[in-house]
Chain A
């Protein structure tokens, strides 16, 4: 099974840009004041998840 990828909860995102600046794959982009993730680029490194100050990023499928 493929590793679960990062997933951004847009309702929680406050558009700080932190996750975008640390993602080694350039997989995240600000779009209409919310961070959006391009899943095909994500390598599941988890850096963005720990970076988000409000906890808006999680691993896919985790509840």
Chain B
């Protein structure tokens, strides 16, 4: 078996890379260890409406609900509302991720890619030190699949990278450890994604309520692994739901455990090998959102691969445009937000309450750094010191 490209993993990073590579003429195979694309869902399913700009989706099954804005709840439950009509706030969708992932894969298949399910990558195929393909296990059969380029889109575990000798290990303070219920029979504020902050609520992370319809929502928690103890995310989430008037009568339709990298992106381009998506730690470190990042990076990776196949050159230098094209867009944002994440982590509950109190009536349509700072400091002057590190970022 010989392909131009083997993509390991059929999540958004893998399928979008495969789509753009196949569209530029490459012979692409996706291998996926699961028996069904997109199942089980390991996600809160929130995405920005920027996804519309890529024209990757058709139909409506992938979308569960449309969002007009977000509400942030401080530890003392002061609400800061970021609404759609206000500049700067991103509107979005809550997805049905099993259909979303399937549509993205179908998009790649329509461009000529193929896929093998129940097929687990177990090692790189090498000739001396050169990567020449992937070793996989399909049921009990060992397969050696040759390829000029391997795409590691294998998610948070990022094992393919490790086989190539890349250190993909996450530090505990760069991982959110998560659980989530999809709760039915609850009262939801339709059109708003809710975020609850606080050291006692979710140390180093937050609790989210993302509505999927009139009486259903994804209710989940992320805790920074460095601040977690065994089972802490599950215990904190159960306590939160039990004490929340709108949620406590809820009944679960789905339960999941998940892991989200909140690190800086790692170098992702090597001879014959690209890392894309969670595997490359391309996730917004503040929100833990990785879907848009995977799509952006997947497009760049796929297009670059197409070019490399045309040239029949597969070295790092030929493949580097993949990351260079992302430097001023995706990577700039991810690196800046990593610094912000580190700063926010040091805010205690009192600071978060003061912030929320200053912002609760703030008109976000005049979103300039200066007016924002004025609003914050007018009410709570002591915030100035806490916010100083953030000010430096306005230059980034």
Instruction: Show the binding face of A for B, using Cβ within 8 Å.
Output: 14-18, 20-24, 26, 29-30, 47, 49-55, 57-58
Contact = CB atoms under 8 A, between A and B. Distances in A.
A17 B7 CA distance: 19
A47 to B, nearest CB: 6
B249 to A, nearest CB: 24
Contacts of A58: 230
B256 interface: yes
B155 A18 contact: no
B230 A50 contact: yes
Interface in B80-98: none
Contacts of A54: 179, 231, 233-234, 257
Nearest to A29: B159
B361 interface: no
B229 A50 contact: yes
20 contacts: A16-B42, A16-B259, A17-B155, A18-B175, A18-B177, A20-B159, A21-B157, A21-B175, A22-B170, A22-B175, A22-B225, A23-B169, A26-B162, A47-B172, A52-B177, A53-B178, A53-B179, A53-B233, A54-B257, A55-B230
Contacts of B302: none
A24 B225 CA distance: 14
Nearest to A19: B259
Chain B's interface size range is: 20 to 34
B44 to A, nearest CB: 13
Nearest to B237: A53
A22 B159 CA distance: 11
Interface string B237-275: 000000000000000000111110100000000000000
Contacts of A53: 177-179, 223, 228, 231-234, 257-259
Contacts of B320: none
Contact of A17 (B157, B229, B230): B157
Contact of B172 (A17, A51, A55, A57): A51
Given A20-B159, A21-B261, A14 B256 contact: yes
Interface string B126-162: 0000000000000000000000000000011111001
Contacts of B162: 26
A24 to B, nearest CB: 6
Contacts of A16: 42, 177-178, 256-259
Nearest to B222: A53
B171 interface: yes
A17 B156 CA distance: 7
B156 A52 contact: no
B169 A26 contact: yes
A52 B175 contact: no
Across the A-B interface, the 9 shortest Cβ-Cβ residue pairs? A55-B231, A18-B259, A14-B257, A16-B257, A53-B233, A55-B230, A51-B225, A17-B157, A53-B177
A3 B171 CA distance: 23
Contacts of B178: 16, 53
Contacts of B256: 14, 16
A29 B42 CA distance: 18
Interface in B48-88: none
Contact of B169 (A15, A17, A21, A30): A21
A47 B223 CA distance: 14
A6 B256 CA distance: 22
Nearest to B232: A53
A21 B176 CA distance: 11
Contact of A49 (B42, B158, B171, B230): B230
A15 B157 CA distance: 10
A15 B231 CA distance: 14
B182 to A, nearest CB: 14
Nearest to B34: A33
A46 to B, nearest CB: 10
B228 A50 contact: yes
Given A16-B258, A50-B225, A22 B172 contact: yes
A55 B234 contact: yes
Contacts of A15: 257
